[in-house]
Amino acid sequence: MTAPASPAAPTTAASAAPPLPRRMIPLAFRAAGLGLVALAVGLAAAVRGSDASDPLLTYAVVMTAACAAAVWGLWLAVDRYLLRAAETLSREAGLIAHGNAEGAVGGRVPLSRYGDLLPIARAVNELSDKLAQVRRDIARTVADHTAKVEEQKTQLAAVLRDLHEGVLVCNTRHQILLYNQTALDILHLAGDLGLGRSLLHFVVAEPVTHTLERLSLRVREGRHLNHEHGTTAQFVGATTDGRILLEGRMSAILQDPDPASDEPPVITGYVLTLSDATSEMAALGQRDALLREATEGFRAPIANLRAAVETLYDAPDLGPGDRAAFESAMLESCDSLSQRLERVTTAYRNVVTGSWPMSDIHSNNLINLVAHRVGTETATTVTLTGLPQWVHGDSHSLVLLFAYLIGRVQALTGATAFDLEAAGPQDGDRWVYLDLVWEGPAVPSATLDGWLDQTLPDGLGGLSAGDVLQHHRSTAWSEPLPNDLPGGTGRARLRVPLPPAQSPRTAQPRPRAGARPEFFDFGLLHQPLATSELGRTPLDRLHYVVFDTETTGLSPSTGDEIIQIAAVRVVGGRILTGETFNTLVDPRRPIPPESVPFHGITDGMVAGKPTIDAVLPQFRSFVSGAVMVAHNAAFDLKFLKMKERAAGVSFDCPVLDTMLLSRMLLGNDGDHTLDGIAERLGIAVVDRHTALGDSLVTAAVFLRMVEMLRERDVRTLDDAIRGANILVELAARERAF
């Protein structure tokens, strides 16, 4: 019995036995003929050797010889009229396949040559005709597209030639893929840039790589979708020989990911437009020198004039009338000079600021770039703290400035760990303050002034730290901070005010039907006192995780689900903005359209995201060892508790509720919503109405409350839990009545 074919190795055309080679066919015929001849000879010998003539044996000899002759003749006929003709036909078909196939003679097989193989020859000719037609169609299509490409190439060349800006297209390795003549003129190159050569051979690398890093970060975080400039950023650069200053604009080239993937687009290259800013910068430098002379040069004459006034005022030999008139004239002159000085100073700063290319910058991105630069060059650590803000400035020069200042402070004080925080406007002003904080003494004013006069490392055109501040109409000072570190040597900060964003991206409030209902779930919020060392720890010494959730609705018991969880760490009274947890969650159910205006999360945004049973173990690990903080915490806890068993986790750490703490501090009357509390405490709100944004605002509110609770003699975790339990108990009794 024949064994069945294995399903793992199906028979295909490729795996079938190869056909018998042509050379084996004549061998087979010859072998058969020779066998028959040998048989006939053997039979004839048997007839001769027998005593009596056997007619059957004689007949067999004759028939065998006849068969041998027939086989031999059959082979000659097959070989001549079939095999050789088939081989010739195959060779001509091969010539047609590899030849021109457009001529009537060269592309067709002569039918009269093939006799019985005429149908096959006809089929070969039909295929040849179709092949010729296909080749003509392809040639026509290629010619049409080539003409269109040449036309587009001519148009593109004309556009690039007429542009006043140099245009270069590069890949992410900065290899040049395309450029125009203007780029050569701007870079003052006589020959070609050279396709495939590195742009960084001609242009200073730092501004280019920094700008590409900015765009990459923007695209990875998805901010390019809502950013004012999308995938474009401006920068100031220079040629490698330092002779030419360049004003550039970089536009990222994106490659969309697989539609089935949730990965962000990938930057595959960029388009760079350059203009020669050397003359403009030179003119700006001249104006700087002129205005500096006009401002600083006035100070000495004014001082002399005032000294003269004081001398004349003290002169005893002038009469009262002359003395009064002289004094009045001198003082009037002094006032006039002072006013003129202020006007010139203001105009000077306006000129400098308006001439330097700037854009709106998110403080978190700016600080992350500073931390990355410092971390790659030294062993110094920079921690991002505080609430994010929007500022207006030159990202590259600000990164150079703060990296330079951090290095100077480290050399002076020995500090190796710094906090960098953006503080919102204070005391009614419009400035955003970037505060560099370290443990150690403050920097003396004279020392800081000396630093500002120094040229920045990698600064373009001899840019000094003071120049960067002047471009931003800013200054810098250092001051000690309250010594709130146990056993520490005190802390200090270096403060740099920056202009606020011209078009801030503060999240617009989404229409809400009202704040979340207040949840006073006795089982969730009435907590046992932490009688251990944790409960006796002062509030300002604890490690917190401030969190918030977004949900499909307000009723977890009837099927509403979590669709986003976010959290931020608070350690030592600092909001560690760089240490966050933020993830969308697939609720495995449609998001009600009426809830989308509350959180802005749609079904498409959560499709393919991890489910809650996969997210909660990660979130539990993030909050491990910390006190959890939330606003209206019972609402969020209810959703978490209902998913504990499915996720295999338990949220048993202490929880503080800023809504309850607000009631402890301000009483039951008043607005205890997060927006209301933030407004009363004067906390600037950025990126509100997202889970992470709400967590950051709640963290800022909580830190202010810790200071207020200390004044109310609520100092430890047990004190806070005890006060919250009383409020929950009172609320439960009120509802019971």
Mean pLDDT by 10 residues, the chain (737 residues): 43 44 56 61 60 60 65 64 72 69 54 75 82 85 82 64 77 89 82 79 92 92 85 91 88 82 85 84 64 66 69 70 71 74 66 68 90 84 89 91 95 93 79 93 94 87 86 91 66 93 57 46 53 83 94 87 94 88 94 87 92 95 93 91 92 92 83 86 72 91 92 91 82 60
- N residues, the chain: 737
State the catalytic residue, choosing from 392, 471, 472, 689.
Answer: 689
Residue 7: predicted pLDDT: 42
Predicted pLDDT of residue 106: 45
In this predicted structure, what is the pLDDT of residue 150? Answer: 73
The CATH number assigned to the domain with range 524-736 reads 3.30.420.10
Q: Are 403 and 377 in contact (CB under 8 A)?
A: yes
Question: Which long-range CB contacts under 8 A does 346-351 form with residues at least 24 apart?
Answer: 347/291, 348/287, 348/288, 348/291, 348/292, 348/294, 348/295, 349/470, 349/473, 351/284, 351/287, 351/291
Tokens of 117: 């193989």
Radius of gyration of the chain (CA): 44
Residues whose CB falls within 8 Å of the CB of residue 502, separated by 6 or more in sequence, listed in order: 360, 392
- pLDDT at site 11: 43
Element (H, E) at 682: none
> What gap in Å lies between CA 507 and CA 685, rounded to an integer?
9
Give CA–CA dist 27/513, Å, rounded.
95
Tell me the domain boundaries of the chain: 24-98, 166-276, 281-355, 359-498, 524-736
Question: What φ, ψ does residue 580 adopt, rounded to 5°?
Answer: -130, 160
CB distance 552 to 728 below 8 Å = no
Structure tokens at 293: 């002379």
- Kindly list the distances between the CA atom of residue 33 and the CA atoms of 23, 58, 79, 487, in Å, as whole numbers in the listed order: 16, 19, 15, 114
Nearest 5°: phi and psi at 204?
-55, 130
Q: Which residues contact 368 (CB under 8 A, 6 or more apart)?
A: 217, 384, 578
The predicted structure's pLDDT at residue 736? 54
The pairing of strands 543-551 and 627-630 is parallel
Spatial distance between the Cα atoms of 189 and 81, rounded to a whole number of angstroms: 74
For residue 357, give Cα distances in angstroms to 280, 352, 395, 608.
12, 10, 10, 41
What is the Cα–Cα distance from 527 to 653, expressed in whole angstroms?
Answer: 10
> Phi, psi at residue 239, to the nearest 5°?
-75, 160
**Residues 445 and 456 sit within 8 Å (Cβ to Cβ):** no
3-state secondary structure 106-159: CCCCCHHHCHHHHHHHHHHHHHHHHHHHHHHHHHHHHHHHHHHHHHHHHHHHHH
CA dist., res. 363 & res. 422, Å (int): 6
- Please give the angle made by the CA atoms of 684, 690 and 692, to the nearest 5 degrees: 80
- The DSSP result for 14-30, as a single string, is TTSPPPPPTTHHHHHHH
Write out the E strands in 277-389: 359-362, 381-385
Which two structure tokens, joined as six digits, stand for 252? 């990222």
Q: Which two tokens stand for residue 620?
A: 């539990």
Q: Give the Cα-Cα-Cα angle 572, 577, 583 (nearest 5 degrees).
A: 125
The answer to whether residue 689 is catalytic is yes
Identify whether the C-beta of residue 420 lies closer than 8 Å to the C-beta of residue 384: yes
To which residue do tokens 């200053």 refer? 245
- Whether the Cβ atoms of residue 384 and residue 364 lie closer than 8 Å to each other: yes
Question: What pTM does this model have?
Answer: 0.60
For domain 166-276, give the fold.
Answer: Beta-Lactamase (3.30.450)
Q: Tell me how far apart the alpha carbons of residues 281 and 355 are, in angstroms, rounded to a whole number.
A: 8
Which two structure tokens, joined as six digits, stand for 209? 């790589």
Contacts of 665 (CB under 8 A, 6+ apart): 705, 708, 709, 712
- The rounded distance, in Å, linking the Cα atoms of 160 and 167 is 7
Topology given in CATH for the domain delimited by 359-498: Heat Shock Protein 90 (3.30.565)
